[in-house]
Amino acid sequence: MKYLRYAFLISLALVLIIVAVANKAPAELAFLPPDLANLIGMNWSITLPVFLVFFLGIIFGVLVGFIWEWLREYKLRSEA
């Protein structure tokens, strides 16, 4: 079972590395749409590789899910 786990983790790492190498192109992330940003003078934007945007989105979603579930189960944990 230990070898199966290592094989899975290695294959997952390879897939993530391949995705990262294939999606190195820069993507600009803007805080607001261009027209609204020009109107109020807040042209905040950042340029990141596409794979980083993708991976950060996944990490953010997992963290929100963990926190959400922890808060949902708080009542059951406090009763135990």
pLDDT in tens, 25-56: 999 999 999 899 889 988 899 999 999 999 99
CA distance 37 to 50: 23
Residue 48 belongs to what domain range? 24-79
pTM: 0.72
Consecutive H or E run containing 48: strand 45-49
pLDDT at position 80 is 65
Is residue 65 assigned to a domain? Answer: yes
Residue 42 lies in a domain: yes
Structure tokens at 8: 């899975």
> Is position 14 within any domain?
no
As given in the structure block, the two tokens for residue 39 are 């109107």
pLDDT value, residue 77: 79
In a domain, 54, yes or no: yes
CB 7 within 8 A of CB 24: no
**2 lies in some domain:** no
